Amino acid sequence: MNQNWENLLQEAEAFQEEMIENRRQLHRHPEVEFDLKQTVPFVMEKLTEMGYQPERCGRAGVIATIGKGGKTFLLRGDMDALPIVEDTGLPFSSTNDKMHACGHDMHTTMLLGAAKLLKAHEKEIKGTVKLMFQPAEEVMLGADDMIKAGALENPHVDAGSMIHVFPGFQIADGTVIISDLGKTMASCDWFEIHVHGKNGHGSTPERALDPLIPAANILLSLMEIQARELPADALVALTVGEFHSGNTSNVIPEHAVLKGTLRTYNDEMRVEIRERMKQIVELISETYRCQGEVLFLAGAPTLTNDEALVAHAQKVIPHLVGEEKTVLLSEVPRMSVIMGSEDFSYVSHEVPTVTFWLGAADSRHQEAYPVHHPKVVFNEAIMPYGVATHVGMALSWLAEN
């Protein structure tokens, strides 16, 4: 390790107040999916002030590079929030009906911090670092959109990494968790199920075709796939999170909708379950003289970590944040398997990557809520650890390669 790089954490801590200001600005004004009308200009303005020449990429992405020639290392930070109403009581709470409940405001801020720190070490970059500010991670669409728009080219990306904040578990604040070799997060398929019947008056159900009956049976049957059709050790999570039908109590509706996600670590099983879902929806609907279909709207493959990058991270990260702040994901209690998904997986299927998790629970709050919870609070003090990890990983990998 270059001696200068071992001080990256202290250098990042020197502009912590600036990062807090940036993070709180993003947190007050969360935006979702590709609709980042305030977030994208904010990111581009900050990068321009640092001396970068940021470019739009895809529907709402931002790309910036630093260095010249050689190989290229990618650093990814996602920017989108969730359609959740915040309930933290923080003085900088969201000003709308959305919330950065997954910590993407932290991710964006840390990548901006990395951009600032990379400028201070620009002469030491043995190649090129590409910064990827990504939209629409929560709906599994943003990474694929940016890749199709050329995010991994001009210059071509040779390897990359990402960081995700990690509250809700008994992990010391600022601990950098290195994902183990191989698959780390599940694939994801967002689906909608539509059941079409015939509406009618509640007093004469015999003259209608009630879609609620087959829809309810479909819901129960989907839950039986894992209970009765898969091995007991199958890593699968099939969830229906929405069930909608009708808008008044005395009318049999014409249409029922179920929405949910399918997650798995097994690509063959993923295909088989999707086919089984199609059969269940169509045949149960037909049994009740209705019509049913399942639509798979978006998704992402499993997130995979490269052997050489994992080994490199294990060698470098302790020098950046300390031995006591570095662990492997498999060493974290109850977290050897993560059924959550990440569309950075699209990048991991194109180039070698490694994923980092950053302990981010705020110990000043009595309960450490998990991501996607309206009460989740992230510890801003951990942001320099993320910046040091970003910059140290990029500089050291480029120096070795």
Q: Which two tokens stand for residue 194?
A: 């539509």
Q: Looking at this protein, which amino acid is placed at residue 337?
A: V
In this prediction the pTM is 0.93
Q: Which two tokens stand for residue 10?
A: 């202290």
pLDDT at 4: 77
Q: In sequence order, what DSSP letters do the residues of 12-31 get, joined into one string?
A: HHTTHHHHHHHHHHHHHS--
In this prediction, residue 338 carries a pLDDT of: 85
Check residue 23 and give left, alpha or beta (phi > 0: left; psi -120 to 50: alpha).
alpha
How far the first Cα of the chain sits from its last, in Å, is: 14
Q: How far is CA 112 from CA 63, 90, 399, in A?
A: 12, 23, 22
Phi, psi of 283 (to 5 degrees): -75, -40
CA distance 350 to 127: 20
Between the alpha carbon of residue 152 and those of residues 19, 46, 75, 259, 307, the distances in Å are: 27, 22, 11, 32, 20
Residue 93: closest CA among 374, 362, 372, 382: 374
Mark residue 151 as left, alpha or beta (left: phi above 0; alpha: psi -120 to 50; beta: remaining).
alpha
Architecture of domain 187-300: 2-Layer Sandwich (3.30)
Q: Is 96 in a helix, a strand, or coil?
A: coil
Q: Where are the CATH 3.40.630.10 domain residues in the chain?
A: 3-181+304-335+342-400
In tens digits, the chain (401 residues) has pLDDT values of: 676 788 999 999 999 999 999 999 999 999 999 999 999 999 999 999 999 999 999 999 999 999 989 999 999 999 999 999 999 999 999 999 999 999 999 999 999 999 999 999 999 999 999 999 999 999 999 999 999 999 999 999 999 999 999 886 667 788 999 998 899 999 999 999 999 999 999 999 999 999 999 999 999 999 999 999 999 999 999 999 999 999 999 999 999 999 999 999 999 999 999 999 999 999 999 999 999 999 999 999 999 999 999 999 999 999 999 999 999 888 887 666 789 999 999 999 999 999 999 999 876 665 678 899 999 999 999 999 999 999 999 999 999 99
Helices (H) and strands (E) in the chain, counts: 10, 16
CA distances from 191 to 62, 294, 357 (A): 28, 7, 28
Classified as helix, coil or strand, 110 is helix
CA distance 122 to 88: 39
CATH number of 3-181+304-335+342-400: 3.40.630.10
What's the confidence (pLDDT) of residue 362?
Answer: 72
**CA–CA distance, 358 with 167 (Å, rounded to integer):** 8
Domain with CATH 3.30.70.360 in the chain: 187-300
- Taking CB atoms within 8 Å and a gap of at least 24, the contacts of 277-283 are 277/191, 277/193, 277/222, 277/225, 280/218, 280/221, 280/222, 280/225, 281/193, 281/195, 281/218
Cα angle value 101/102/103 (rounded, 5°): 95
Task: Return the bridge partners of 244, or none.
Answer: 257
Contact 141, 343 (CB under 8 A): yes
- pLDDT on residue 40: 98
The whole-number pLDDT of residue 337 equals: 77
Q: Which amino acid is at 327?
A: V
Bridge partners of 78? 134
Query: For residue 89, what pLDDT is reported?
Result: 94
Q: Are 62 and 40 in contact (CB under 8 A)?
A: yes
